[in-house]
Copies of this chain bind each other. A is one copy, B any other.
Amino acid sequence: MTITLNVSGMTCGHCEASVKGALKDLDGVQNVDVNLATGKVDVQYEEGKVTEAEMKEAVEEQGYDVA
């Protein structure tokens, strides 16, 4: 399964790394692809192991907003 999160506030490579790292730390997340220019974050995950709400929370904990 793949979901796209719309994340705002990422401005640089460090931001990209924080968001990517936080999502990858979630059990069930298999791959994360961040587009810094558009704020679109594609998350590949195993259904039933992780929810969209948990992903959203992980990103927000890093200080970014998820639409």
Contact = CB atoms under 8 A, between A and B. Distances in A.
A18 B63 CA distance: 17
Interface in A1-38: 11-15, 18
Interface core residue of A11, A13, A14 (most chain B CB under 10 Å)? A14
Contacts of A13: 63
Copies of the protein in its oligomer: 2
From DSSP, what is the main secondary structure of chain A's interface residues? helix
A43 B34 CA distance: 34
Contacts of A15: 12, 14
The 4 A-B pairs with the shortest beta carbon distances in the complex, nearest first, are A14-B14, A11-B11, A11-B12, A12-B12
Interface of A: 11-15, 18, 63
